[in-house]
Structure 1
Amino acid sequence: MLSAIGIGPATILIFGTMIMLLALGMPLGFLTGFIAVGVAYLWFGDANVLHMVAGRIVDFTTSYTFVAVPMFVLMASMLDKTGIAKDLYNAMRIIAGRLPGGIAVQSMAVAVLLAAMSGIIGGETVLLGLVALPQMLRLGYNQNLAIGTVVAGGALGTMVPPSIVLIVYGLSANVSVGDLFLASFPPAFLLAGLYIIYILVLCFLRPEYGPPMKRGELQSMTRADFVRMARDIAIPALIALWVLGSIYGGIASVTESACVGVAAVFVAALYRRELSVAIVYDALKHTMRTVGMIIWVGIGATMIIGVYNLMGGDKFVKDLIVSQDVAPIVVVLLMMLVLIFLGMFLDWIGIALLCMPIFVPIIVDLGYDPIWFGVLFCINMQVSFLTPPFGPAAFYLKSVAPPGIELTDIFRAVWPFIIMQIIVLVAVLLVPEISTFMIN
C-alpha cells in the first residue's frame, strides 16, 4: 500500500510520475486522470474512492461561470474568421503616422483592444503574427523588436479583461471574477505602457529599428479611406465597450456578458456582410476543440487534486509551508518561483487547476487577498507564455511566422519583454494597492 510510505514520499512520487509522463508526451488531462486512479487504488486499496471526487468534477463542468469560457472562445474565433480584427489593425495604421516605432506601438494598442474583446491568448498571437509581423518586417523594422512586440502583445490577453485565465482562476480559487477583472486592469495597462515606452525609447535611440511610414502613403488616402478606417476602428471598440460596460454597468454578469459579446460580433459580421454558414461552422469547430481541451484538463486536475486532498495532501502542503520560520512574503515568493518553474513545462490551465486549490487557502491563512494573488498568478503566467523551453506564445507565432524565423529567434527576441513582465510582477508583489485599489 502506498499509504505505508507516508504523504511526503507519496507527494514526491506523484510529482515525479507526472514529470515522467509529460516527458513521454502524454496529454496533461489524461495523465492526471490516470495518476488519480492509480493513486486512489494504491493509497486506499480501492479506486471506488473516486466516487467521492465525482461531485467536484460535476461542480466544475456545470459551473454557471464556466459557461463564459466557450462563449469568449467563440467570440474570439468569430473575430478572427470574419476579418474584423484584421481590418482593425489595418485601420489603425493611420494613427501610427510618421512616428518612429509607430507600427509597433499600434500593434501593441491593437493587442490590448483584441484582449478586451476576447481574452484568448493563442488567437491574438496568431492574428498579430499573420498581420502585424509581416507588415513590420516589410517596413524594415528590426526583427527582434517586431517578434517581441507580437509575442508580448498577444500574451496581454492573460490579464486584460475578459481574460479566460482570470475566469478559470476565479473558478478554482472560488473568488469573484468581476473583482478579478477590476484588479487586473491597472497592472495590465501598466505592463502595456512599459512595452510602449520601451518601443518608443528604443526607436528614438536607434531610428533604424522602427522606421516611420512614408509620407506618400498617408497623402494618397482619400476621404472614403478615412471613413472606412473610422468604421473598422469603431466596430471593435464598441464590441469591447459593450462587453465590459455590460459587466461594470450592472447590466449583465460575466457569463451573460460573454453571450452579449458573441451576439455583438454576430451583429457586426452581419453588418459587414461577412456572416456565413462556413464562417460560423469554422468558429464553432475551433471553439469545441479549445473548450474540449480545457474541460479534459479540468477533469483530470480535479480528479488528482481531489484524491490528493483525501490523502491529506492539502494539510501536508499547508503545514510544510506555514511551519517554516519565514516571513509570509517569503512564502508568496516561493509560490511565485514554483509557478514560474511549472510554467516552463505545463499549460496555464493545468497550473491553475492543480495549484490554486492548494495555494489559495494558504494565501488566505497568511492574511493576503486572493484577488491580489490572482493578479500575481496572471502576470506569472504571462512570463510562462514567453519563456523557453515550452513558451506557448512562441510556438503560436512559429506556426504562422514568415520563412526564416526559427524558435530560437523568437525566444531570443522576447527577453526584454520578459524583464518588463518581471518588473511589473515585483511591483504588484511589493505594492498590492496597484491592483486592489479599484475594489477596496
Structure 2
Amino acid sequence: MTDGYLVSLMIGALFVLIVLGVPLAFATGFIATVFGVVLFGDMALWILSSRTYGLMNEFTLLAVPMFVFMATMMEKAGIGEDLFRAMNMWGRRLPGGLAVQTLVVAVILASMSGIIGGEIVLLGLIALPQMLKLGYDKKLAIGTVVAGGSLGTMIPPSIVLVFYGLTANVSIADLFSGVIVPGLILAGSYVSYIVIRALMNPQIAPKPEFPETCEPIGWRERFNLILPLFIAFCVLGSIYGGIASVTEAAAFGAVGTIFAAWVRGNLSWDMLIGSGLTTFTTSGILFWVTFGANALVGVFTFMNGQSVVTSFFTEDLQLTPLQTIIVINIVLIFLGMFLDWIGILLLTVPIFLPLVVSLGYDPIWFGVIFCLNMQISYLTPPLAPAAVYLKSVAPEGVSLLDIFSASWPFIIIQAINLTIMVLNPQLILWLPNM
C-alpha cells in the first residue's frame, strides 16, 4: 500500500473509533500501537515508549498543573465575585453596562487562569442571573457569558498556547506576546457589539433603576482584590521580562494564590485538597490525551504522513498559500464541532505546521490563528464546551437550545476577527518581533 492509502486508512480508523465513543486518549494510543506494530514490528513499541518518556521529561509541561491550580484556588477563594462587585461600581452607567462589566471581569479572570471552564461557571452563577433579573435580553446575556468566559484561550497565560508551544517547539513567551493584541481586539469587538446594540435598543440592556446597586467596597476588600491582580501581573511580567521561565512563573503564581487566599482569611485544608484534586483530574486528562496523540503523531511521521499532506495541498489541489490557510482554518473549525481542543492541537499541528512554515508563514502567527479557531470551537454545536459548562449552572428556563442560539452573533464576531488576523499577520507578530 502507498503512503497515501495508509494515511487515509489511519485517519479513517481514528474517525470510526471517535464516532463509536472511544475516549480520544485510548483511540489515538490504540491506532498508534496497531499501525506501528503492523508496519514496523516490535521496534515500534520502543519508539512509542521513548516518545512518551521524552514528552514526560519536558520541563515546560509542569506549567500546566501550576496554572490549573492557580485558577482553581482563585475560584474557590471568591476572587471572581469581588471582581464582579468592583466592576459593578464602574460599569453601571454605560450602555449595556452589566454585560460590559461581565466581559471586563472575564478578561481579568482569563489573565489569572488560562482555562475556560471555571470562568464560564463563575460568570454563569454571578453575572447571568443579575442580567436576567435586570431585564436584559436573554440571548444577549447568555451570549455575553459564553463568549466572555471563553476568552481564557486568547488571553495569556493560555493553556492552549502552552501545549502549542510544546508541540511546535516555539517560544511560549513569544506566543503569549503574540496573542495579546488579538485577544484584546476580540474582547473589544464583543464590547462594541453590546454597546451598539444597547444604544440602538435600550430595552435589551436596561440600566438599573436606582443609582446604587451594591454597597461600596472597603479598603480591606480593595486590598484583597488588588493582591491577586498583582500576582497575575508578576507572573506575566516575569515571563515577558525574561526573568523566569513559564514553569517558574507558573509555580510562583500557584504559591501566590495560596498567599492571597490566606490574606483574605479563607484559606483552609479543604480548599487546598479540593484544588489539588481538581488539578490532578484536569491535568491527568490533558496528559493522557497528550501521550496518546504524541504516539499517533510519531507513527504518522514514520509513515511519511507529513509529506503526503503537503503534497496533497500543494500538488494535488494546487492551492495558493492563502487558499491553503483558508482550507486549514475550515478543517480546524469543522473538527472543533466534534473534538476537544487538546485532541485537535495534538493531531493537526504536527501535520499542518510544517506545511504552513513551508508556505512562508510564521509558527507564532499560526499558533494564535489556531487559538482563534479553538475560540470558535468552544461555542459551535454540537460539542460546544462553553454551552455545556453554562448549562450546568444556568438559571431555570435557560435551555441548551437557548445557549446555542445566543452564541451565533459572537461566533460571527470571532470569524470576522479570525479573517482579520489571517489577512494581517503583523497584528500578531509586531509584539513578539519587538
Instruction: State the TM-score, normalizing by the size of structure 1.
Output: 0.95
Match of 1:307 in 2: 299
CA distance in 1, matches of 2:250, 2:8: 40
Deviation at 1:173, TM superposition (A): 0.6
Identify which range, 178-187 or 204-213, moves more after superposition: 204-213
Deviation at 1:402, TM superposition (A): 1.2
Q: Does 1:128 align with 2:123?
A: yes
- Gaps of at least 5 residues in structure 1 are none
Match of 1:227 in 2: 219
Deviation by residue 1:232-277 (Cα, 9 ceiling, x = unmatched): 5423321221211121222211111111111111111010011100
Specify the SS of the correspondent of 1:136.
helix
Q: Does the CA-based 8 Å contact 2:224-2:263 persist in structure 1?
A: no
Out of 378, 390, 395, the residue aligned to residue 385 of structure 1 is 378
CA distance in 2, matches of 1:111, 1:50: 45
Identify which range, 370-379 or 327-336, moves more after superposition: 327-336
Identify which range, 278-287 or 393-402, moves more after superposition: 393-402
Match of 2:10 in 1: 14
Q: Does 1:363 align with 2:335?
A: no
Deviation at 1:229, TM superposition (A): 5.2
Deviation at 1:216, TM superposition (A): 4.3
Q: How does 1:422-433 map to 2 (within 5 A)?
A: 422-433=415-426
- C-alpha spacing 1:47/1:145, structure 2 compared with 1 (3 Å): farther
CA distance in 2, matches of 1:53, 1:319: 26
Identify which range, 272-281 or 326-335, moves more after superposition: 326-335
Out of 64, 71, 89, the residue aligned to residue 66 of structure 2 is 71
Q: Does the CA-based 8 Å contact 2:98-2:131 persist in structure 1?
A: yes
CA distance in 1, matches of 2:95, 2:360: 47
Out of 95, 100, 103, the residue aligned to residue 105 of structure 1 is 100
- C-alpha spacing 1:221/1:213, structure 2 compared with 1 (3 Å): same
Deviation at 1:48, TM superposition (A): 4.0
CA distance in 2, matches of 1:75, 1:113: 14
Q: How does 1:255-404 map to 2 (within 5 A)?
A: 255-323=247-315, 324-404=317-397
Deviation by residue 1:153-211 (Cα, 9 ceiling, x = unmatched): 11110010000000000000111000000000000000000000101111111111111
Q: Does the CA-based 8 Å contact 1:398-1:406 persist in structure 2?
A: yes
Q: Does 1:119 align with 2:111?
A: no
Q: Does 1:57 align with 2:57?
A: no
Q: Does the CA-based 8 Å contact 2:313-2:319 persist in structure 1?
A: no
- Gaps of at least 5 residues in structure 2 are none
Count of residues in Structure 1 that have an aligned counterpart in Structure 2: 432
Deviation at 1:388, TM superposition (A): 0.6
Match of 1:33 in 2: 29
CA distance in 1, matches of 2:4, 2:177: 39
Specify the SS of the correspondent of 2:378.
helix
Q: Does the CA-based 8 Å contact 2:332-2:344 persist in structure 1?
A: yes
CA distance in 2, matches of 1:158, 1:25: 26
Match of 1:420 in 2: 413
Match of 1:437 in 2: 430
Identify which range, 95-104 or 264-273, moves more after superposition: 95-104
Q: Does the CA-based 8 Å contact 1:133-1:147 persist in structure 2?
A: yes
Q: Does 1:95 align with 2:87?
A: no
Of all paired residues, the percent bearing the same amino acid is: 50
Out of 235, 242, 252, the residue aligned to residue 243 of structure 1 is 235
Specify the SS of the correspondent of 2:286.
helix
CA distance in 2, matches of 1:221, 1:306: 58
Deviation at 1:99, TM superposition (A): 2.3
Match of 2:174 in 1: 179
Q: Does 1:197 align with 2:189?
A: no
CA distance in 2, matches of 1:117, 1:326: 41
Deviation by residue 1:279-318 (Cα, 9 ceiling, x = unmatched): 0000000000000001110011011111111122122112
Identify which range, 313-322 or 396-405, moves more after superposition: 313-322
Question: Given residue 243 of structure 2, which amino acid in structure 1 is its aligned partner?
Answer: I
Question: Given residue 404 of structure 1, which amino acid in structure 2 is its aligned partner?
Answer: G
- Two-structure CA RMSD over aligned residues (Å): 1.5
CA distance in 2, matches of 1:39, 1:264: 46
CA distance in 1, matches of 2:34, 2:49: 16
Q: Does 1:166 align with 2:161?
A: yes
Identify which range, 352-361 or 321-330, moves more after superposition: 321-330
